[in-house]
Amino acid sequence: MKPKHAERRPWEMFFVGAFWASVALLLVTFVFGNDSVLKDGSGLLVVTFTVIACMPFMYYVIKLEEEKDIEISNSGKLIKEHSKAIRAMMWMFLGFVVALSIWYLVLPNSAGQNFNFQIKTFCAINSPSHYSYCIEQHGVPSMTGSVTGANALLAIFANNIYVLIFTILFSLVFGAGAIFILVWNASVIAAAIGIFTKGRLINLPLALGRYMIHGIPEIGAYFIGALAGGIVSVAVIRKDLRGEGTWKILQDSLLLIIIAIGVLIVAALMEVYLTPLLF
C-alpha cells in the first residue's frame, strides 16, 4: 500500500492493518506457541511482528509528510494535508484492534498466552487492588507484588501525556519506531474488548463502542505526536534542517504537538464523563 494511495482511500488501511495483525498473531500462536521459553513472551511477540510488517508503510508516510513541509507554506493547508495521513493511520489502527479482538474470542484457549502482557496491563489499570485475582481469572499465571491505582481526570490525562511524550521521543530517535507504542496500545485495547465481551462474539460491537468512543481521539493524538516527531527525524536524515526550512519544519511539528495535547484533553474528558454515562 503506497502512502499516496492510502491517503486517497484511507479506509483500505483497515484491511491492511487487520491482515498484518492476524498474520502476526497466527504466526506467534502456531510457530512460537509451543516453545517453552518464547511462549511466555507471546504478548510482546504479537506486537513485534505487527510492527515489523507495518514499519515500511509508516516510514514512507512520514517521509511524504516531511516533503509536504518543504513544499507547502500555508499552515492551514499543511495541517489539512497531514490529516489525510492521520486518517489512513487511524483506519490501520482500527484494523489492528478489530482483528486482534476477534482472534481473542476465536482462540479462547490461547488468549491468556497471546495477550498475557496486555491482560496484566488491563488488570493493573482496572483492578489494581485485586491484581493477582484479575490476571488469574483471565488465564494468566499470577505473579507477586501489588499495583497501586490512580483514577479521575488528572490521572488519565497525565498517563496519556506520558504516552504521548514517549511516542514523540520514539519518533525522533527511531523515525517510524513510534509504531511500536501504537501497536502495543491496540493490543491492550483488543484484550480489554475481549474481556468486556465475556467470550461472546455477539457482544463485540458493544465492546468496540465502549473503548473506541474515547479511544479514537486518544489514539489519534498519539498518531499526531508520532507524525510530529517523525517529520523532524526524517528532516534530519534528509538534511532538510537548514536555512529557512528549519523553522518551518520545527514550527509545523510544534503545532502538531499542541494539537495532540488538545485532543488528549478532549479524550480524557470523554473517558471520565461520557463513556461511563453510555456504558
**pLDDT 10s digits, 188-221:** 999 888 888 877 888 888 888 888 888 889 999 9
Read off the amino acid at residue 138.
H
- Please list, in sequence order, all residues whose beta carbon lies within 8 angstroms of the beta carbon of residue 229, skipping any fewer than 6 positions away: 167, 168, 169, 170, 171, 172, 178, 253
pLDDT at 143: 43
Return the pLDDT at 149: 39
Q: How far is Cα 181 from Cα 230, in angstroms, rounded to an integer?
A: 14
- Predicted local distance difference test score (pLDDT) of residue 202: 86
Q: Tell me what the mean pLDDT of segment 106-123 comes to.
A: 80
Q: Is the pLDDT of residue 112 over 80?
A: no
Which tens digits make up the pLDDT trace of 63-104? 888 888 878 877 788 888 899 999 999 999 999 999 999 999
- Residue 232 in this model has a pLDDT that exceeds 90: no
Task: Average the pLDDT over 234-245 and give the result.
Answer: 76
High-pLDDT (> 90) share of the chain, %: 27
54: its cell numbers: 507495518
Tell me what percent of the chain is helix, strand and coil, each rounded to the nearest 5: 85, 0, 15
Res. 141: pLDDT tops 90: no
pLDDT-derived band at 142, boundaries 50, 70, 90:
very low
Residue 250 CB coordination number (10 Å): 16
Provide the domain limits for residue 229. 3-278
pLDDT in tens, 4-16: 899 999 999 999 9
Q: Is the overall model pTM greater than 0.85, yes or no?
A: no
Average pLDDT over residues 155-183: 83
Domain count for the chain, please give it.
1
